[in-house]
Copies of this chain bind each other. A is one copy, B any other.
């Protein structure tokens, strides 16, 4: 059985991994017959957001690995231990955690940079010609790392974010929530998921399922 690495960025869409995208990615992987191991950086979250008020909590601190362990049910390892050679592909669910904890894209857009560990991992999978699937805002961080190779990807249809993505050298393609974009040349599959805040969980699952099916075919 092929095994892929999944990287989470916390637990909650405003300060960590988008929970539903994370769970539905794991489900889609199993349904495609792929095994997985989950990783997250052992570092402090950029901040903690009260998801009821949608406002940051002054002075609160949480650890990305510990919070991601909630989704992983404790079965998770530090991102620093991820070895590309052990895996057949890489999956990145979305959530603001990708843009705040795994990079500073949320604040600097195309001028931002990915976490050094993440950049090394993504470059490693790319160089080894192993496929990468990225959901929601995660493709923007893939663009920060791989934009110079001009991959085609989607973050849905938000013009502002698409413009930042294209500044990295990546080609943006609009895509519906229940669909995905497959770049066969760069072995990159992307799907917008909750980039549309009003998306239904059924649509999100349809898009992630298509993305993971295409990813499994490339793995």
Chain A residues near B (Cβ < 8 Å): 11-13, 19-20, 23-24, 26-27, 30-31, 50-54, 63, 65-67, 69-74, 76, 194, 197, 200-202, 205
Contact = CB atoms under 8 A, between A and B. Distances in A.
Contacts of A197: 73
Given A23-B24, A52-B76, A65-B52, A12 B202 contact: no
Q: Is the interface of A mostly helix, strand, loop or mixed?
A: helix
Contact of A11 (B12, B66, B73, B194): B12
A52 B23 CA distance: 17
A194 B23 CA distance: 14
A31 B52 CA distance: 26
Enumerate the 5 nearest inter-chain pairs by beta-carbon distance, A residue then B residue, closest first: A12-B70, A51-B69, A23-B23, A52-B69, A30-B202
A73 B74 CA distance: 22
A52 B74 contact: yes
Contacts of A31: 202
A71 B73 CA distance: 15
Given A51-B69, A53-B66, 12 more contacts: A11-B19, A13-B73, A20-B23, A23-B23, A23-B24, A26-B201, A27-B205, A30-B200, A30-B202, A31-B202, A51-B72, A52-B69
A111 B152 CA distance: 60
Contacts of A13: 70, 73
11 contacts: A20-B23, A20-B71, A24-B27, A27-B201, A27-B202, A27-B205, A31-B202, A50-B66, A51-B69, A51-B70, A51-B74
A49 to B, nearest CB: 9
A11 B70 contact: yes
A16 to B, nearest CB: 8
